Structure 1
Amino acid sequence: MSGQGIAAATAAFEQNRYIDALTILNGMLGKSEEAAAVTLLLAETLEKLGFTAEAAEAFEQAAQHAGAEAPLVLRRACGLYFAIGDDDHTQLIGMKLLKSLPADPELAYILARSLRRTGDNALVDLVKNTLVESDDPEHLKLAGDIFAGDDRNPASLTLFRKIAALHPDDPYSQLKYLAVARDFCDYAAIERIERWLGDEIAAGRMASLAGDTGYSNLLHCGVERYNRLATNNPGVSEPPSPAATRQRRSRPHLWSDRIRVGYLSSDLWDDHATMRLFQSVLEAHDRERFDVTLYCYTPERFVGFDGGNRGKWGKIVQIHALSDAAAADVIRARQTDILVDLKGHTAGSRSKILNHMVAPLQVAWLGFPGSTVNIECDYIIGDAIVLPNSSKPHYHETFCRLPETYQPNDPVYRARPPAASRADLGLPDDRFVLAAFNAARKISLPTLDCWAAILRGASNRVLWVMIDGDLARGNFLSAMKSRGVEADRVIFAPKTSYDAHIARLQAADLGLDTFPYNGHTTTSDQLWAGLPVLTVKGSNFASRVSESLLTAIGLPELVASDPDAFVAQAVALSNDPARLASLKQRIEANRYTAPLFDAERFCRHLETAYAMMADRARQKLAPEHFDVPAQPARTSPFR
């Protein structure tokens, strides 16, 4: 009889007569010898009727009789519990199922969504790689959200390659893949996508650039009018209205004798690259003329790394836990005169706080080498090299140009240990060592071609490059081999502590820059260590930084006019030890006399800039481009 009942219920189910099927099945509960088939069909019938909670419970019961199929039946229960918002049951079942279905993408999808909904993001790591192995577009879309900020996991390269293949005409998918490919030195993908983007631009489809982030665009594009079109920046898709800008500038504001300067950043701990540049300038502020406050959203784990210097920088107001609007209210309530954003379009930025119209003067500086598109800024601080007059049409910010370099540098807390020996570093004593320590993502195709050309020129040269991870290193060696450079000409440098990094830099002969995105802190670190750096004259802010730094330490001749001259100059220097020694001696002689590492002098220039901005704002005058006059040269070294 039970066989007939199952057959009748199955027929009703297949004919979409779910009430009839349910009636038959209810009469069989607890009586049938075919409990597995009855409970499973009951669960499916309840699901069709929209009784989701009851269906989930029924699938749980069915799993008890399902034998080898039990995990797949429980997975269905897990999905239904998620659908009704019961994350406790979803996760209880799902986490147990991971033992029997460790590589099941559907289970990973359900669990990841549930864990993200309850904020248990750390546990998502248990299943995120499984999502990458799926070919289901929904699974890959979720994985894309999870991996969006994970630039160290090799699985992200596979993931975004799959997403790009699914959406070949979507600039957001293609340019995200390009950004990830840079992190892993996948030059075949880089070349392919850059060619696609070049074709888009040539055809006049400029909207494709909107798929790029401001930062990622600078890694491959030195054209300022294109940099402005890279608007895929989180939370800032539209510019503030001109009316809102006028209202902010005309709003009543209580000025005081001291200028109240606020610095906004998530990098406020002394071992961050920003603070290795900036902390001595912060300490040098004239407290009788300037009231300095740091609006800090530095994550707690990084604050814990600070060596104790934070207390010397100024008042610190924590805004990490506040919304953007609430943070803006706090900053506004403190009558901040000048709010200086130190992040721009970089990782972890909350620059959009400025779009809440916080202060009468809002300034972009230091963190992002370009226009912070769609962020409400009156001024950008630069210098005449990084911000020449020709750049003005490509910025919504007004130019404030410091007289020597836009980049501060700390000569007090910056480590300068004795040089490490080549033997300890695994470097050959009889080779010319070219150091390339910029982030791997900055190694563009033109940079790669130049490096390879330099190495091919003679066997006495080796490239010492900082690239992490087996995948990226393998890809880099393959790219060099395709350009005629064997693996034994490349030496990989591991990441290390800052002190050890400065010590090892002194063992190299010459630093090689990247372009169009130069070394910034990396270049100043090399100069601080006494290592000459060769760069190429740039065409936008990011590609002009090394020229600014080299000029500020008195070595402008290390700025090659173009890539061919860069190669020729590197080759010439590798064969001219006397000239190289002379360059190193000049760095030593200039370290404490040239402007680059003079934090006190830099601070006076910066304060003059703030005073000039404030004078106009007090008079309700709109910002205008200006150059800060240089202070008289000092006559004694700063120690």
Structure 2
Amino acid sequence: MDGQAVAAAGVAFGRGDYLGVLSLLSPWLGTSTDAAPLVLLGDALAHLGLPGEAAQVFERAAACPGADVSASLGRATALYVEAGDDDRAQLIGIKLLDVMPGDTSLAYHLALSFRRTGDTGLVHLLVESLAKSGDADHLKLAGEILSGSERNPLALTVFRKLAALFPDDPYTQFKFMSVARDFCDFAAIETLEQADAVRSASGDLSFLAGETAYSNLLHCGDERLNRLAANNPGLTIPSPGHSRLRRMRQHAWGERIRLGYLSSDFWSGHATMRLLQSVLEAHDKSRFDVTLFCYTPEHHAASDANRSKWGEIVTLHGKSDAEAADIIRRHDIDVLVDLKGHTGGSRSNILNQMVAPVQVAWLGFPGSAMHVDCDYIIGDRIVLPASARQNYHEKFCLLPESYQPNDPVHRALPDATDRGALGLPSDRFVFAAFNAGRKISLAALDRWAQILHRCDHSVLWMMIDGDLARSNMLAAFGKRGVSADKLIFASATGYEAHIARLQAADLGLDTFPYNGHTTTSDKLWAGLPVISVKGSNFASRVSESLLGALGLPQLVAGTPEAFVEMAVQLAHNPGEIARLKQEILRNRFVSPLFDAERFCRHLEQGLSIMVDRGRAKLPPEHFEVPALPVRAHPFSSRT
């Protein structure tokens, strides 16, 4: 190749004259065996927006004597990906992985290609390389890949790096905090929460834009701030007057109330159905026509024989929100109850399509479902006191005992598992904390550590899965002066085995500000006393509601400090623990908490009041459902 032409091409490239490079070097393209001018030509073609042609030139460069084969083929792979030629990119790139196994740029481009062709298994093989990178694009792609498998410890590494690269982006910071909670990285959580507290104190609440409503509840007990956590891009925000227009539309009311439930949790193994199943079965069919509008994952729904007992099931799989709303409207539903709210997998946006004259939020999300068009939220006087009204757009339907239903019929109630079989010491007081790790706040962690310090004869039994989460938990307690021998970890297990093992503990410790919800009622169902703290929002008042409905309001401490004192006193009073356990057993089938039929009658009364107002074209209003007479006899044959 003419050396003068190559030199001139280099000068042209330096001044951005890529067409000049092409003009000077193209005549030599077919005969050149020198890699350098081919690399120059390939770079010029890439700058001209011709990635496919550039990739072919880089392939030729790699075949030249003395060429940097790996560098040229790496460039060819990247350019073929850019050109959309995945077959060629993968053919070259996969071979190159053997030579460059840790090259993050190669991993990045191959991962892009494999995602495009749907080879998810191969994509996940490349995440480890991407996680080692410091490049923002590489890390963003790794984050996207890991978004569906956040139990992978690499997620913590990736989102930690992204948070450091984008300190002012609320979405990136939130994502890191969310993953840190999943892996119990309390050092990271403390740093992030302190930064948010400084912003909040200065009046800057912009960080809340990146946080989901559910995640905000895990650490914030302020209902005013809970409403500002607005990261929910799937929602179409209703316009002013939307709700009133929906309620005023023509509707054919029937003799029986056409009641619809909307959820993805209609299968027996889900925690929601451990609460709700018997209530659905107890509905008065002479007064209520029940339809379940279901987007439950098909692999859960397909083999569940119990579903046929709950009402007519109408699937919404494969339907857009508008199509799903049209299906519901064709059923002339009088009152539609959304069981998800701002929780994972929710399709609450369906309610923003003017679906039913009465729309209600219940059970799934413990708070106001901002930007979801609901007339009412179902609660009780504890979780929804009058002071909370200013922070809700929904009106309150207050049930007389507890907002949470509980199934006493289908719920497993096995004999207790022996402590020895669970690896628990026979001579120590066992505190049990079986809430998900993400619910363990810094405040709860501090109080638990204080309890363990003051109860030398105790251990804390926790349901924490995964080596990284357990290591982080040990480090967090170690920082607070609690030795590793005071902690015992349990893994997730089947529900029957879980209820059996809970009975081996002495006392349950609640989390706050986000209480145990189903977790608390599971402990109480198993006969295990639970102590909690009075809360300041719905999520932090749930255990108080449940304990009150079981006749044990004294187990709710007024402050976190009183919570510590109560735990210490009970740990040193085995007689009182035994008495509390006996009281739970006596109350289990007498008090309202597990009385599904009684609960159903109260719920139906509340729904009837809503429908009566809807028929009369009256706007929603707060109301309380009166309590039925107290039962004189147990309600279950299990007693």
- Provide TM-score, normalisation by structure 1: 0.95
User: 1:51 and 1:149, CA in 2 relative to 1: closer, same or farther beyond 3 A?
Assistant: closer
How far 1:212 moved relative to its partner? 1.7
How far 1:539 moved relative to its partner? 0.8
Q: Which residue of 1 aligns with 2:25?
A: 25
How far 1:17 moved relative to its partner? 4.4
**Paired residues for 1:95-114 under 5 Å:** 95-114=94-113
Query: Is residue 453 of structure 1 aligned with residue 450 of structure 2?
Result: yes
- 1: CA distance between counterparts of 2:223 and 2:353? 27
Q: Which residue of 1 aligns with 2:152?
A: 153
Q: Which moved more, 1:329-338 or 1:529-538?
A: 329-338
How far 1:481 moved relative to its partner? 1.4
**Paired residues for 1:173-192 under 5 Å:** 173-192=172-191
Which digits, 9 at most, give the CA deviation of each residue in 1:554-580, with x for residues without a partner?
111110111111111111111111111
SS in 2 for 1:524: helix
Q: Which residue of 2 aligns with 1:297?
A: 295
- 2: CA distance between counterparts of 1:346 and 1:559? 27
Could you list the runs of 4 or more consecutive aligned residues of structure 1 that deviate by over 6 angstroms after TM superposition? none
- 2: CA distance between counterparts of 1:152 and 1:301? 21
- 2: CA distance between counterparts of 1:61 and 1:270? 61
User: 1:32 and 1:224, CA in 2 relative to 1: closer, same or farther beyond 3 A?
Assistant: closer
Q: Is the 8 A contact 2:275 2:407 kept in 1?
A: yes
Letter in 2 for 1:355: N
- 1: CA distance between counterparts of 2:66 and 2:292? 62
How far 1:99 moved relative to its partner? 3.5
- 2: CA distance between counterparts of 1:144 and 1:225? 31
How far 1:322 moved relative to its partner? 1.2
- 2: CA distance between counterparts of 1:61 and 1:277? 66
Q: Is the 8 A contact 1:28 1:38 kept in 2?
A: no
- 2: CA distance between counterparts of 1:380 and 1:549? 18
How far 1:101 moved relative to its partner? 3.2
Q: RMSD of aligned C-alpha atoms?
A: 2.0
How far 1:548 moved relative to its partner? 0.5
Question: 625, 629, 638: which one pairs with 1:628?
Answer: 625
- 1: CA distance between counterparts of 2:630 and 2:66? 85
How far 1:146 moved relative to its partner? 3.3
- 2: CA distance between counterparts of 1:336 and 1:456? 56
User: 1:85 and 1:471, CA in 2 relative to 1: closer, same or farther beyond 3 A?
Assistant: same
SS in 2 for 1:535: strand
Letter in 2 for 1:250: M
Q: Which residue of 2 aligns with 1:273?
A: 271
SS in 1 for 2:341: coil
Question: 433, 436, 441: which one pairs with 1:439?
Answer: 436
Query: Share of identical aligned residues, percent?
Result: 62
- 2: CA distance between counterparts of 1:172 and 1:261? 38
- 2: CA distance between counterparts of 1:229 and 1:19? 53
Q: Which residue of 1 aligns with 2:194?
A: 195
Question: 407, 412, 415: which one pairs with 2:412?
Answer: 415
Q: Which residue of 1 aligns with 2:72?
A: 73
Q: Which residue of 2 aligns with 1:335?
A: 332
Query: Is residue 492 of structure 1 aligned with residue 479 of structure 2?
Result: no
User: 1:207 and 1:617, CA in 2 relative to 1: closer, same or farther beyond 3 A?
Assistant: same
Q: Which residue of 2 aligns with 1:529?
A: 526
Q: Is the 8 A contact 1:341 1:363 kept in 2?
A: yes
- 2: CA distance between counterparts of 1:427 and 1:339? 47
Which digits, 9 at most, give the CA deviation of each residue in 1:264-314, with x for residues without a partner?
11111111111111111111112221111111112223335x542112111
SS in 1 for 2:461: strand
Q: Which moved more, 1:198-207 or 1:294-303?
A: 294-303
Q: Which moved more, 1:12-21 or 1:213-222?
A: 12-21
- Provide TM-score, normalisation by structure 2: 0.95
Q: Is the 8 A contact 1:66 1:73 kept in 2?
A: no
- 1: CA distance between counterparts of 2:70 and 2:335? 61
How far 1:358 moved relative to its partner? 1.2
Q: Is the 8 A contact 2:397 2:623 kept in 1?
A: yes
- 1: CA distance between counterparts of 2:397 and 2:412? 31
- 2: CA distance between counterparts of 1:605 and 1:158? 49
Q: Which residue of 2 aligns with 1:285?
A: 283
- 1: CA distance between counterparts of 2:588 and 2:543? 16
User: 1:88 and 1:299, CA in 2 relative to 1: closer, same or farther beyond 3 A?
Assistant: farther
Q: Which residue of 1 aligns with 2:465?
A: 468
Q: Is the 8 A contact 1:452 1:485 kept in 2?
A: yes
- 2: CA distance between counterparts of 1:43 and 1:512? 65
Letter in 2 for 1:393: Q
Q: Is the 8 A contact 2:431 2:458 kept in 1?
A: yes
- 1: CA distance between counterparts of 2:45 and 2:502? 69
Q: Which residue of 2 aligns with 1:248?
A: 246
- 1: CA distance between counterparts of 2:11 and 2:123? 41
- 2: CA distance between counterparts of 1:65 and 1:259? 80
Structure 2 gaps, min length 5: none
Q: Which residue of 2 aligns with 1:558?
A: 555
- 2: CA distance between counterparts of 1:129 and 1:267? 33
Query: Is residue 402 of structure 1 aligned with residue 409 of structure 2?
Result: no
How far 1:5 moved relative to its partner? 5.5
Q: Is the 8 A contact 1:2 1:32 kept in 2?
A: no
Which digits, 9 at most, give the CA deviation of each residue in 1:515-558, with x for residues without a partner?
00000000000001000001011111000000111111111111
- 1: CA distance between counterparts of 2:348 and 2:442? 31
Query: Is residue 231 of structure 1 aligned with residue 230 of structure 2?
Result: yes
- 2: CA distance between counterparts of 1:604 and 1:29? 84
Q: Is the 8 A contact 2:221 2:540 kept in 1?
A: yes
How far 1:96 moved relative to its partner? 4.1
Question: 474, 477, 481: which one pairs with 1:480?
Answer: 477
Question: 360, 363, 367: which one pairs with 1:363?
Answer: 360
How far 1:419 moved relative to its partner? 0.5
Which digits, 9 at most, give the CA deviation of each residue in 1:114-145, with x for residues without a partner?
34445554543222333222211222233333
How far 1:165 moved relative to its partner? 1.4
Q: Is the 8 A contact 1:5 1:28 kept in 2?
A: no
- 2: CA distance between counterparts of 1:66 and 1:531? 76
Letter in 2 for 1:596: L
SS in 2 for 1:113: helix
- 2: CA distance between counterparts of 1:518 and 1:44? 59
Question: 541, 544, 550: which one pairs with 2:541?
Answer: 544
User: 1:421 and 1:225, CA in 2 relative to 1: closer, same or farther beyond 3 A?
Assistant: same
How far 1:151 moved relative to its partner? 2.9
How far 1:608 moved relative to its partner? 1.1
- 1: CA distance between counterparts of 2:251 and 2:508? 49
**Paired residues for 1:253-268 under 5 Å:** 253-268=251-266
How far 1:11 moved relative to its partner? 4.6
Q: How many residues align?
A: 636
**Paired residues for 1:213-224 under 5 Å:** 213-224=212-223
Letter in 2 for 1:573: L
Q: Is the 8 A contact 2:184 2:472 kept in 1?
A: yes
Q: Which residue of 2 aligns with 1:210?
A: 209
How far 1:249 moved relative to its partner? 0.7
Which digits, 9 at most, give the CA deviation of each residue in 1:447-475, with x for residues without a partner?
01111111111321100011111111111
User: 1:67 and 1:566, CA in 2 relative to 1: closer, same or farther beyond 3 A?
Assistant: farther
- 2: CA distance between counterparts of 1:574 and 1:379? 42
Q: Which residue of 1 aligns with 2:137?
A: 138
Q: Is the 8 A contact 1:468 1:495 kept in 2?
A: yes
Letter in 2 for 1:276: R
User: 1:300 and 1:77, CA in 2 relative to 1: closer, same or farther beyond 3 A?
Assistant: farther
- 2: CA distance between counterparts of 1:128 and 1:357? 43
User: 1:64 and 1:312, CA in 2 relative to 1: closer, same or farther beyond 3 A?
Assistant: farther
Q: Which residue of 2 aligns with 1:426?
A: 423
SS in 1 for 2:377: strand
